[in-house]
Amino acid sequence: MTKEQTPTTPETAGPRPRRLTYAAALTALEGLALAVGGLWVLVLGLAGEPDDRQQAVTLGVTLVALALLPLLAARGLFALRSWSRGPSVITQIMALPVAYSLLQADSMAIPAGIAIAVVAIATLVLLINPATTQALGIRGPGSAQDQK
């Protein structure tokens, strides 16, 4: 392969753009929030008097398990791994319906819904930014080399 045909790897792409760092930090923040929420529900389910202990424990374990996706994605984004953008985008897309349902509530959940929506939309914008895409070494459609 000639130098023009060799795809740019993240290691040779240069320093990490600030947008990518912000996206990774927001993704990590979401993962930490899920983990903390899951542990909180788990502890309350085990130590408190929930209506259904099994349901509380299951929800806590599920939230902790779901926290792994954004935490691993954030780690990959910090390390400039191209695979990490997909799980981070999926996390943001999953957060939007949660935010919407919280915004429909008539309670103290509305500020949480606003915060989740703002973080998810901001992270999506940062992740689809051309500088982020280039830093991760992701090529867009139509730029693949013809292999003959």
Record the pTM: 0.81
In a structure prediction context, what are the per-residue pLDDT tens digits for the chain, which is 148 residues long?
A: 444 444 445 444 567 899 999 999 999 999 999 999 999 999 998 888 778 889 999 999 999 999 999 999 999 999 999 999 999 999 999 999 999 999 998 888 999 999 999 999 999 999 999 989 999 988 877 665 644 4
Please give the pLDDT value at position 117: 97
DSSP for 22-83? HHHHHHHHHHHHHHHHHHHHHHHHHHS--S-HHHHHHHHHHHHHHHHHHHHHHHHHHTT-GG
Please give the pLDDT value at position 106: 82
